[in-house]
Structure 1
Amino acid sequence: MGKLSGKTALVTGASRNMGRAMALRLAADGALVAVHYNTAKDEAEAVVEAARQAGGKAFAVGAELGVPGDVATLFEAVETGLTEHAGSTALDILVNNAGVLGGIKPEDTTPEQFDRILAVNAKAPFFLIQRALRNMPDGGRIVNISSGLTRTSNPDEIAYAMSKAAVEMLALHFGKYLGPRGITVNSVAPGITRNDNPVFQMPEVVTAMASLSAFNRVGEPEDVADVVAFLCSEDARWITGAFVDASGGTLL
C-alpha cells in the first residue's frame, strides 16, 4: 500500500515538467490525482495514461487560471472527476504548482504583464486554497511551489519573484489558520530545474547553471516532486508554515 493510498490530490500545472513529475509521484504513492492543465490537454492526458500504466489513478481537468471564474471552472471539473473516480468530492491534497514566468526587463514590464503574473502566480493559489477548503477534510495537505528567486536576484524576473514571495505568505498565514484542523501548508522553492526550455539542450549553458548548485548539476523534476510527495504524506504531519529549499544548494 502506498503512503497516499485512499487520498485524492489536485496538482495545478501538471501537464509537463515539475508538475508532471509531481502528479506521477503522488499517483505512484497511491493518490487519485487530478492533473490540471491550461491548454495542453493532450500532454495532460499523456500524464494520466502514464500514471495508469504505472498502476496509479488520475484524470485530467482543464481550466485557465488568472481569469474571472477560473477557480469555479476548475473545481467544477475536479468535483466531477472525484465523484466519478472516488465516489465523493473530498480533496485531501492541493499542490499549487501552476505559474508563469516573466523574463521581462524592469523597464519593459507593462501593467498588463505585471497583473497577469500576479493573477496566475499569487491570486489564483489564494483562491484555490479558499475553495479547496470546502472539500478538504481535517489532516489535509497544501503545498505551494515558490522559487529560489525569492532568495536570490534576477532583475528580469522582479515581478515573478514578487509573486512567488506572496505565495510564501500563504504557508505562513494559512499554516497558522488551518493548524487546528491538522491541515499543513508549506512552500517548496526549486532552483534551476530541467524543463522543456531549449536552453537545457545547450551543454555549455547547462554546465554554467549546474555550477550554481552545491551538487554541481541542474535539478531534475523528480528531485522537486519527491520533496512535494514527502510534504503531502503523514510523515510531514509536524511541518507547517515552512519554506523548504529544494534548489540543490543553490541558495547556500
Structure 2
Amino acid sequence: MVKGAVLVTGGARRIGRAICLRLAADGHPIVVHYRRSDDEAEGLVDTIRSSGGTALALQSDLSDAASAISLVQRAGAESALGGIVNNASMFVHDDLDSVDTEGWDAHMDVNARSPMLMIRALNQQLDDDGRACVVNVLDQKIAEPNPDHLSYTASAMPCSA
C-alpha cells in the first residue's frame, strides 16, 4: 500500500470494518464510508482513534454518481488519499426469471459505476508521483458464477478486470 489515507467503502461493518482496523493498525489514516450505518461508523472511528490511529467517517449513497464522486473529493480534502478499497456492494437475490431493469440498474450503479467514478476522482487528485492503490473486494461468485444473484454477478465483473 502507498502512503496516505485509505478510503474504505462499506467500511463500518463486517469485512469493511476488519479492513479498516487492519489498515489503521498498519499506520494508515482511514476514511470509513457508510451509507446508513452511522452509529457503527462513528464507533469504528472512535476505536481507531483510541488505538492512536487517525480516522473519520463520511456518508455517501454510492447509487448516486455525484455522491460517489463527492465522497472521494471530501475524503481528499480531509487528508491526501493514497488508496481506495472498494468494499461496498449491492447484493440482492435475483435470477433470469425475476430480474428487472430497476434492480439491474441499481446493482450496476453501486457495483460498477461508482468504483469507476471514485477511481477517476482519486486519479484527479494525485500528487506529482501519481501513486495510489485501489483494491476491489470481490467474492467467489465472480470465479464461479451461478444464477441466484444475476445482477450482482454481472455488475461485479467490471471490477475484476
Regarding TM over 0.5, the answer is: yes
Query: Aligned partner of 2:147: which letter?
Result: P
- The counterpart of 2:78, out of the listed 77, 81, 89, is 81
Runs of 4+ with >6 A deviation: none
Matches within 5 A, 1:86-101: 90-101=80-91
Partner of 1:232: none
User: In the aligned structure 1, how far is the partner of 2:4 from the partner of 2:113?
Assistant: 26
Give per-residue Cα distances to partners, 1:100-141, cap 9 Å, x unaligned. 102123211110000000110011000100001122343321
Query: Contact conserved, 2:82 with 2:133, CA < 8 A, in 1?
Result: yes
| Distance across 1 between alignment mates of 2:35 and 2:110 | 11
2:66 pairs with 54, 59, 69, which one?
Answer: 69
Q: Shift of residue 8 of structure 1? A: 1.2
Q: Matched residues in 2 for 1:99 and 1:19: separation? A: 11
> What secondary structure is seen at the aligned counterpart in 2 of 1:109?
coil
Question: Equivalent of 2:49, from 49, 52, 56?
Answer: 52
Question: In the TM superposition, what whole-angstrom CA distance separates every residue of 1:152-179 from its partner, at most 9, and x where no partner exists?
Answer: 133111211111111112xxxxxxxxxx
1:24 alignment partner in structure 2 = 21
> Is the 1:34–1:81 contact (alpha carbons within 8 Å) kept by the matching residues of 2?
no
Q: Does the residue aligned with 1:49 lie in a helix, a strand or coil? A: helix
Aligned length: 159
Q: Which residue of structure 1 aligns with residue 148 of structure 2? A: 156
Is 1:118 aligned to 2:118, yes or no?
no
Q: Distance in 2 between matches of 1:136 and 1:94?
A: 12
Measured after TM superposition, the shift of residue 53 of structure 1 is 1.9
Structure 2 contact 69–118 (Cα < 8 Å) conserved: no
- Once residues 8 and 36 of structure 2 are traced to their aligned partners in structure 1, the CA distance between those partners, rounded to angstroms, is 15
Residue 142 (str. 1) matches residue 134 (str. 2): yes
Name the aligned partner's letter for residue 30 of structure 1.
Answer: G
Q: Distance in 1 between matches of 2:159 and 2:115?
A: 7
Q: Which residue of 1 aligns with 2:12?
A: 15
How many percent identity over aligned positions? 31
Alignment partners' CA distance in 1, 2:119 and 2:60: 16
Q: Compare relative contact order (CA 8 Å, sep 6+) and give the higher one, 1 or 2.
A: 2
Indicate which of 97, 100, 113 corresponds to 1:107. Answer: 97
- Please say which structure displays the higher CA radius of gyration: 1
| Comparing 142-151 and 132-141, the one that deviates more | 132-141
Structure 1 residue runs without a partner (length 5+): 83-89, 170-252
TM (norm. structure 1) is: 0.59
Work out whether residues 93 and 141 of structure 1, in 8 Å CA contact, stay in contact via their aligned partners in 2. yes
Residue 44 of structure 1 deviates from its aligned partner by: 0.6
The normalised TM-score by structure 2 is 0.91
Quick one: distance in 2 between partners of 1:81 and 1:11? 14
Mark the runs of 5 or more structure 2 residues left unpaired by the alignment.
Answer: none
Alpha carbons 1:100, 1:120 under 8 Å: kept? yes
Distance of 2:76 and 2:131 partners within structure 1: 19
Alpha-carbon distance in structure 2 between the residues aligned to 1:68 and 1:140: 22
Give the deviation of 1:39 after TM superposition. Answer: 1.3
- Matched residues in 1 for 2:65 and 2:119: separation? 16
